[in-house]
Structure 1
C-alpha cells in the first residue's frame, strides 16, 4: 500500500482512466501513453497525496494535467486525429446505430476541448460537480455554468442548429 491506496485500487480505476484518456486523445496509442504517464506521476507523488481524498478524482486530475502538458508540448501539430481512430468494434452495430453514434461524436467533436472534457468527466465518467471542479482546477460554480452551456451547445448541434454565440454588448 502506497499513499493510502493499493494495487487493486489502481487496477479498479485503470479502465476508466484509459477511457477518459482515449476521449481526450482520440488515439489508442496516445491514450495508453497518457495513462502510463499518469500512473508514473501518481506513483512518484503518492507520498504527497492526502489519504482522505478521493483516489479516482486525484488520478483523473493527474491524467488531465498530463494531457494538458502533452498538448502544450505538441502545439506544432495542428491536425486533430479522428475520434476513437483504431478502436476495435466489440459488436457489429446496425447501420442506424452507427449513423447516430457518428453524428453524436461529430457533434461532440465540434465542442471546445473544455466543454468536451467537462461533459465526459460528468456524463461519461460519473464524477460529481465538485470532483470535476477538483480535476479541472476550477470553481464548482464554473463547472455548473460551463456544463449547462456545453449541454445546450450539444443539444443545439444535435437538433441541427448552429451553436449559439453569446450576445456581447460593445462598450466604449
Structure 2
C-alpha cells in the first residue's frame, strides 16, 4: 500500500494531539501510547475509508475515542479505583505547587463523565471547533456546548474555584507584592 506524502504528514502532525487526548482520557501515559498506536494502525488499515477533503485529525480522534470506549467497556469487570485511594498509596507527591494544581485538575477531570471530559478536552485543550468535536463525538453542536458548560461548572465545583480569589496572582506572588509595596 502506497500512502501519499500529504497523508503521511497529516497523520504525523496529529500524533502529539492524539497523545494528549489519549492521556487525558485514560489517565495513563503508557495506556495513551497504546491507544495512539492502535488508532494509527487502524487508520492505516482503513485508509480507504477516509474521506478526502475532511479533517484527518478529526478522523483519527474518532478512531482513538471509539477504541478507548471499546476498551472501557471491556474493563468494566476489572477492579476500579475511582477515589484513587490505591493510587495515592503508591504515588510520590510532587514538591512544586504548579504540579499539585495540575494533579488536582487531572483528578477533577477524571471525575467528569467521559462525554463531558472528551468534549471539554477536544475544544479547550486541543483547540478543535465545536463542529469537529461534534463530528468526533457523533452528536450535534448544541449537545457539545451543553457538555462543555456542564463540565466547566463541575470542574469549578470540584476544584472549589472562587473567581474572586483564584484569578490573578497566587498566594506567594501576592505576599511578595505586598511585602515590597510597603516603604
Interval containing the TM-score (normalised by the shorter chain)? 0.7 to 0.9
The correspondence of residues 1-172 of structure 1 with structure 2, limited to 5 A, is 2=3, 5-80=6-81, 95-159=96-160
Specify which structure has the higher proportion of helix.
Answer: 2
Spell out, residue by residue over 1:136-167, the C-alpha distance to the aligned partner (whole angstroms, 9 max, x if none).
Answer: 10111100111111111111222269xxxxxx
Work out the CA distance in 1 between the residues paired with 2:5 and 2:76. 36
Within 2, Cα distance between the matches of 1:3 and 1:70?
Answer: 31
Q: Which runs of 5+ in 1 are unaligned?
A: 86-92, 162-172
Greater RCO between the two (CA within 8 Å, min separation 6)?
A: 1
| Residue 68 to residue 122, structure 1, CA distance change in 2 (3 Å) | same
Contact 1:3–1:49 (Cα < 8 Å) also in 2: no
Task: Tell me the TM-score normalized by structure 1.
Answer: 0.78
Number of residue equivalences: 152
Mark the structure with the bigger radius of gyration: 2
Cα-Cα RMSD: 2.4
Q: Identify which range, 151-160 or 133-142, moves more after superposition.
A: 151-160
What whole-Å deviation, never above 9, does each CA across 1:42-68 have from its counterpart, x for those lacking one?
Answer: 111111211010111111011101111
Q: Secondary structure at the match of 1:155?
A: helix
TM-score, structure 2 as length reference: 0.74
